[in-house]
Amino acid sequence: MLADKRILLIIGGGIAAFKSLDLIRRLREQGATVVPVLTKAGEEFVTPLSASALAAQKVYRDLFDLTDEAEMGHIELSRAADLVVVAPATADLMAKMAHGHANDLASTLLMATDKRVLIAPAMNVRMWEHPATQRNLATLQGDGVLVVGPDEGAMACGEFGPGRMAEVPEIVAAVSAALSDGPLKGRHVLVTSGPTHEPIDPVRYIANRSSGAQGTALAAALRDLGAKVSFVTGPASVPPPAGVAVIRVETAREMAGAVKAALPADAAVFAAAVADWRVENAAAQKMKKDGTGRLPSLEFAENPDILAGIARMGEGRPRLVVGFAAETERVEAHATAKRARKGCDWIVANDVSPGTGIMGGAENAVTLITEAGAEAWPRLSKAETARRLALRIAEALA
């Protein structure tokens, strides 16, 4: 909830500005006060009247209007907010921010504010990928500016690729995370999730039944406690949560690389169902029946154990390393042995034997194995299991 939060929303000049009107409504639904600021270009896409009516606030547009009226100076306007949101953040606005321009109301507010700034970039894919924009992005991130999106997809200009503004629920989640004073604020937590796909040839692969539901719920719960979450996911059947950094991978080896690249982290939770083996003789071209009735034979190689690798990495190891164990019998004994074998701090064990309905289902019944022993938790929704686990992680990192 965003009750009593005041958000200064700068609407830049891009076609995605129409979504910013909905953003105003959704933020207000959460209890926030939204004060809109329109750039000159923004006014070409949405009218001040629409923004003002939806926000139930005066809309600010002109630097000199503010100064002349002395009603509320730009310094005061920029500081009265709890968070400054720029949506859409155009290539031009990002460039101005990165270089410290202050030649209109929006850029001056961004220079004068003492609050956090969250940008939702939106632009043509070429403009997004242009080295100048990527340089500006790196500068802004270095300055502590928070970034949500852009998403990949079809764009109004007819091209396809990254550059679409993040969807409104994702921006609302990022706003909540930015304003959250949760116990994990300032912490970085890495979560792996979903199955991996190990190719046999370019069109076939070996996979498993993991839906990614528990890992996704956990990433959302950690985000809700204020953590910055890096979510490394295989091809899951549930979408990743909003407001986390999503890194998509297919194979175990790609997952291992993505995990290393996402470090350092304060905690790492390995909820992914990683394939133990990959096909070593995967074919470069689609395998064909050769008419002789002979069957192809697959050779397997062992995949890297990502959890064990991180748990035993020595310097740079996250303070808390948590593994999952999906077992079908003698859950506690197997999971306790696994904790020792992998070198992790905790194991979250569950019984995935077919009768339980846990794999791919909405509920989970876990046993948490720590140094102190085993704790059996009641059968709970995956969301509640995630919330309790996130709270325990927060306690451990406190």
Among all residues, which ones are annotated catalytic?
157
In terms of Cα–Cα distance, which of 253, 255, 223 is closest to 236?
255
> Among residues 42, 213, 323, 352, which is the contact residue for ligand C5P, using CB under 6 A?
323
- Min dist CB 59 to ligand C5P, Å, is 49
Q: Is 46 in the site for ligand C5P (CB under 6 A)?
A: no
Which range touches ligand C5P (CB under 6 A), out of 45-53, 171-179, 224-232, 268-276? 268-276
Backbone angles phi, psi at 47, to 5 degrees: -90, 150
Q: How far apart, in whole angstroms, are the C-alpha atoms of residue 327 and residue 273?
A: 12
- Cβ closer to ligand C5P: 41 or 365? 365
> Among residues 166, 244, 306, 386, which is the contact residue for ligand C5P, using CB under 6 A?
306
Q: Is 192 in the site for ligand C5P (CB under 6 A)?
A: yes
Q: Is 270 in the site for ligand C5P (CB under 6 A)?
A: yes
Q: For residue 145, what are its two tokens?
A: 């500016």
Backbone angles phi, psi at 158, to 5 degrees: 95, -10
CB atoms within 10 A of CB 89: 30
DSSP string, 64-105: HHHHHHTSS-HHHHHHS-SEEEEEEE-HHHHHHHHHT--SSH
Count interface residues toward ligand C5P (CB under 6 A): 13
Which range touches ligand C5P (CB under 6 A), out of 128-136, 227-235, 288-296, 301-309? 301-309
Q: How far apart, in whole angstroms, are the C-alpha atoms of residue 144 and residue 132?
A: 19
Q: What one-character DSSP code corresponds to residue 59?
A: P
Q: Is 305 in the site for ligand C5P (CB under 6 A)?
A: yes
- Min dist CB 301 to ligand C5P, Å, is 12
The dihedral region occupied by 226, where left means phi > 0, alpha psi between -120 and 50, and beta the remainder, is left
Cβ partners under 8 Å of residue 46, min gap 6: 11, 17, 18, 20, 21, 38
Which range touches ligand C5P (CB under 6 A), out of 116-124, 289-297, 300-308, 353-361? 300-308
- Cβ closer to ligand C5P: 240 or 323? 323
Q: Is 258 in the site for ligand C5P (CB under 6 A)?
A: no
Q: Is 173 in the site for ligand C5P (CB under 6 A)?
A: no
Q: Is 324 in the site for ligand C5P (CB under 6 A)?
A: yes
- Min dist CB 125 to ligand C5P, Å, is 34
CB atoms within 10 A of CB 318: 21
Q: Is 110 in the site for ligand C5P (CB under 6 A)?
A: no
Which residues of this protein are in contact with ligand C5P, per CB under 6 A?
192, 252, 270, 272, 274, 303-307, 323-325
